[in-house]
Amino acid sequence: MTQKEQVSQDDLYEFLKEHDVKISRLAEMIGMKKPEPLMSCFKHHNDWHGRPRKLNADHIAALNEALPRLSEELLNCRLKFDPERAETNTWGSTYDKGLVEPIKRIGNYLNITKMLERVAGWHNGKKCAVLSRPNGKMYGCVTKDDTVAINKELLSIAGVLERYELVEDSSL
């Protein structure tokens, strides 16, 4: 077994924000009905006594169990560009329309709009045209390069989450 990297809740939250991981999905994985309490702890909102909130031992244990599961689920979302299924347009660009639904599935775990903008350079309009407008010219225009960029991001996030072990931060 590999050595886990111990991180504070602030370090974990910063990583989750930078990589557009949905806190609501993480809250669901640890059994919270709503994501607000988890967000409140991550953001250190004041409790009713005026003290900054932080994760308790139960939350930390639950998150430590959930992080490897989330990592595994992200790995299961990797895309497979299929040259047999791909189509080439008149300009010579090759696209795989079969990747629309798998990309949408990634949206269960990551903010897909921000992630696609960050890793593939897609703006919101392109994302909508490619993933949500079946009658449009851009629908399903997912290139091999897009697939590689998305998969690299999924592998990167999954690798980090697998290594992280959340520890109690005594400085709060």
pLDDT tens digits for range 87-145: 888 888 899 999 999 999 999 999 999 999 999 999 999 999 999 998 888 899 999 99
Contact partners, residue 128, CB within 8 Å, separation at least 6 = none
Residues 14 and 71 in one domain: yes
Do 58 and 149 touch, CB atoms closer than 8 A? no
91 falls within a domain: yes
82 falls within a domain: no
Across residues 65-85, what is the average pLDDT?
A: 95
Considering the chain, what is the average pLDDT of its residues? 92
CATH number at residue 53: 1.10.260
pTM of the model: 0.90
Domain that holds residue 147: 87-151
Three-point CA angle 70, 71, 76, nearest 5°: 95
Count other Cβ atoms within 10 Å, centred on residue 73: 19
The per-residue pLDDT for 171 is 44
Residues 10 and 56 in one domain: yes
Instruction: Write the burial class of residue 131 (CB in 10 Å: 0-12 exposed, 13-18 middle, 19+ buried).
Output: buried
- State how many domains the chain has: 2
Residues 62 and 100 in one domain: no
Model confidence at 170, in pLDDT bands (50, 70, 90)? low
172 falls within a domain: no
Residues 72 and 123 in one domain: no
Encoding tokens for residue 87? 């189509």
